[in-house]
A and B are shown apart, each in its own frame.
Chain A
Amino acid sequence: MTGTFELGWWGVLLAIVAGAIRVSTPYLLVSLGETLTEKSGRVNLGLEGTLVLGAMSAFATCYLTSSPWLGMLAAGLAGSALGLLHAAICNLPRVNDIAVGIALFIFGIGLAFFLGKPFIEPRAAMLPGLPLGNWSANPAIRSAFDVSPMFFFGLVLAIALEWGLKNTRWGLILRIAGESADAARAIGLSVHRVRTLATMAGGFLSGLGGGFLSLYYPGNWNEGLSSGQGLMAIALVIFARWSPIRCFYASLLFGGTAAIGPAVQTVGITEGYYLFYAAPYVLTLGLLIYSSSPTRTLAGAPSELSISR
């Protein structure tokens, strides 16, 4: 960490930027997944459980096969399986998606802890990063610009989703299901089917977010790995008002806030840095208060969501 000391306060800024990129990736993947699900008219609050189960599945698969990419695939599949479970239960008449989400949140975490016990100690192969900082000799800069391809995947996906919701058949069908179930039925669409697929896709992306946690940053598997990031990502969807591109910006903001704590620590501030660790939680709370109001509904919320009705 000598490099950081050489850079002084610039180092803090650099660490925040680097941290923003690194920390934002799981937020981005989970929030994009949740945006997809919510656009179809359903809320999946269980994504924290999906994230943790994804992290465990990725780590375990990678440990057993030594392939981090197989691990990511396993994480995605585990996520879609939980998504399918959520959707299947919600397709039953008179089932509340919020309650099911909370149940699956706890179920996912419990399952991950149960199956993941043997994998807490060992090390597994990590996802490779793209060394974009090779132009510099400074090790701090080099490590800061070691960016995961998953970050770029998220960025491309955000752009593709933003475009696809308007310009593709699937995007239109997804939005009809989310805006007016009656209209969807009137034109012969199966609302349940659309929502099931959307929830599974959302679960897949959240699973990938979990895989990123255990295989890239912080890059191990333990029970405190996620600490509520899946829940905050859902709050972030509301803040981003259901727009994939705004999810990207919001994730960077969250990531940057989360990186303040570790960044100030690297310049040797030892007192009170725990307050900075709380920054993302404070931000979540602040944003939710800012974006809620007793007198109006949220602009941009899909009309079929249980929170809009």
Chain B
Amino acid sequence: MRNSPQPAPPDVDVIDFCKSFGAVRALDHVSVRFRAGRVHALLGENGAGKSTLVKCLMGYYRADAGRLLVDGQQRAILHPRDAHALGLGMVYQHFTLVPQMTVAENFLLGRKHLPAIIDWSVEHKALDEFMASMPFRLDPRRTVATLAAGEKQKLEILKQLHLGRRFIVLDEPTSVLTPTEADEVLGEVRRLSDARLLSVVLITHKLREVMRFAQEVSVLRAGKVVAHTETEVASETSLARMMFGAATLIEKPEPSRTNVSATPDFYLELKGIHALGDRGTPAVVGADIGVRPGEIVGIAGVSGNGQKELVQILAGQREAHSGSMRVGGHRFYGTRRELEKWGVSLLIEEPLVNAAVPSMSVMENLALRQFDRPPLANGGWLLKRSALRPFARALIDRYGIRVGSASAPLQTLSGGNVQRTVLARELARPVRLLIMQNPCFGLDVAAAIEIRRQIMRVRNDGAAVLLISEDLDEVLELSDRVLVMAGGRISYETDRARADRYEIGRHMTQALARLPA
């Protein structure tokens, strides 16, 4: 397959696709023409139907109605195999690579027929030849775990090309990349399509990327194509209006207050924190971080650069092997007593795994911080179950948690509602320090805006807020000061007024080269 002359990328026509899940019309007479050798963006909010459309295209779902033309011929795609046979492939948002294997081994995995005995000298030679014909390359001998996120994304794309796919769907390909990495990967994708090696469908909600790298864009809203245009004649504003509907304006959280450093003392102060990661290698290397009351300090960084370990130290889930952590001027060890005394609240990523008990009810999870305190208990040991329900009900209403019964196990809730539940729990008592990690990860736009508004409220009430996020836009939008964490160090600091996304992005990737392989 890899030595055959490379076929031209196909034209793909989607005509009148419909797909319903129960009462929900996920696709409502959707027609899109993906022209050969072009980068075509699919833009839309979560739930607009982008994923459903490509899943029908790739054979994971079967459309209820509609026709599909590939190079003008009608085709039926009933299974991913059919899509692959037509040269259609997809790169998923989450990597499907095997981290502990080499690049070469990962290349081999996708092949339909693995030879019984693998002659690595032959394979490596063939791979080197293949890489030489590509505009970007990777060392086949490296272990995937040592690749940066941008390199993994490139490997996914190379894998598709290696398998002979000439029409590739990229599902939010830059969600885990820095701006510089994103520009590089998408620049290469654009170059491949300009060289007519590839037709590309780019699923994204980042307007900047659409304007910069796509030639055409189709906007989906509530299962319908509401607009189709060449990017040359569009602007970010016009696209945003199409995406959210003309009447809806995106409400930004309240603007920052000026004069944040009126109180000079740090409420949270980390000095020289060192810690080891799960593999026993240094993960946090001498981090100095200070947060004053009434300011949001954002820590930007590519995931896997020590953020997880840093948050675990703050949450009392991991021991720092040196350095000091002070809250309100006192040594802090993250015990339950200290958390309560100093008003520390935590919103850790993946709360279902890290900060809640999935099989306990919403009610019980809401009470995890206060179940043995009045009014939920007498004398610190006798729980009053009767007081629990009204306490939970009040929080459920106040934070708009969508749940039928307060007794439903937390694990039955959607991601956004789990996030709201944990946030409600953490904000249910006076907050003086709020520590958050990727608070809006995986949430739809409305839920994310709501959570960001809560964060702003807490800050404007005078709490110190530490925001650790992989989403640079989020960090830039919310923070009064921005720090960058790379290779376990705080490598850069800037304030809101001077923050520049490319400068920050450069620092986010800078230390990667220094990390041990």
Contact = CB atoms under 8 A, between A and B. Distances in A.
Interface in A143-201: 166-170, 172-173, 175-176, 179-180, 182-183, 186-187
A169 B279 CA distance: 29
A297 B116 CA distance: 33
Residue with the greatest number of chain B CB neighbours at <10 A, chosen from A169, A173, A187, A295? A295
B115 interface: yes
A2 interface: no
Interface stretch (B101-109, B266-274, B382-390, B474-482): B101-109
Contacts of A187: 109-110
Interface string B89-113: 0000000111111000100111000
B238 to A, nearest CB: 38
Contact of A179 (B98, B278, B279): B98
Nearest to A185: B96
Contact of A183 (B97, B279, B319): B97
Contacts of B416: none
A167 B279 CA distance: 27
A303 interface: yes
A299 B279 CA distance: 6
B114 A172 contact: yes
A297 B100 contact: no
A172 to B, nearest CB: 6
B120 A167 contact: yes
A169 B280 contact: no
A173 B279 contact: no
Contact of B280 (A172, A183, A296, A303): A296
Contacts of A297: 278-279
Nearest to A301: B100
Contacts of A172: 105, 108-109, 114, 118
Contacts of A170: 116
Nearest to B106: A183
Contacts of A179: 98-101
Contacts of B114: 169, 172-173
B132 interface: no
A180 B276 contact: no
A136 interface: no
Q: Majority SS of interface residues in chain B?
A: loop
Interface string B367-396: 000000000000000000000000000000
B402 interface: no
Interface string A280-305: 00000000000001011101001100
Interface in B322-381: none
Contact of A295 (B108, B119, B280): B280
B318 interface: yes
A173 B276 CA distance: 32
A303 B100 contact: yes
Interface residues of A, number: 22
B462 interface: no
A236 to B, nearest CB: 21
B276 A176 contact: no
Contacts of B108: 172
A260 B304 CA distance: 47
Residue with the greatest number of chain A CB neighbours at <10 A, chosen from B97, B108, B280? B280
B415 interface: no
A183 B96 contact: yes
B109 A183 contact: yes
B117 interface: yes
Interface in A82-140: none
Given A295-B319, A297-B278, A167 B117 contact: yes
A297 B280 CA distance: 8
Residue with the greatest number of chain A CB neighbours at <10 A, chosen from B97, B98, B110, B116? B98
A35 to B, nearest CB: 15
B277 interface: yes
Contacts of A166: 118, 120
A183 B276 CA distance: 28
A173 B115 CA distance: 11
A204 to B, nearest CB: 20
Interface string A200-213: 00000000000000
B136 to A, nearest CB: 23
A297 B97 CA distance: 21
Nearest to B102: A166
Nearest to B92: A186
Nearest to B111: A187
Nearest to B281: A296
A1 to B, nearest CB: 48
A96 B343 CA distance: 40
A179 B98 CA distance: 7
A169 B109 contact: no
A125 to B, nearest CB: 38
A186 B280 contact: no
A168 B276 contact: no
A224 to B, nearest CB: 39
Residue with the greatest number of chain A CB neighbours at <10 A, chosen from B108, B109, B279, B319? B109
Interface string B216-248: 000000000000000000000000000000000
B513 to A, nearest CB: 22
Nearest to B110: A187
Q: Which 6 A-B pairs have the closest CB atoms?
A: A296-B280, A169-B114, A180-B98, A179-B98, A297-B278, A183-B98
Interface of A: 166-170, 172-173, 175-176, 179-180, 182-183, 186-187, 293, 295-297, 299, 302-303
19 contacts: A166-B120, A167-B117, A167-B118, A167-B119, A168-B118, A169-B117, A172-B109, A172-B118, A173-B114, A179-B98, A179-B99, A179-B101, A180-B98, A295-B280, A296-B278, A296-B280, A299-B279, A302-B100, A303-B100
Given A172-B105, A183-B97, 19 more contacts: A167-B117, A167-B120, A168-B117, A172-B118, A173-B114, A175-B101, A176-B98, A183-B96, A183-B98, A183-B109, A187-B110, A295-B276, A295-B278, A295-B280, A295-B318, A296-B278, A297-B279, A299-B279, A303-B99
Interface of B: 96-101, 105, 108-110, 114-120, 276-280, 318-319
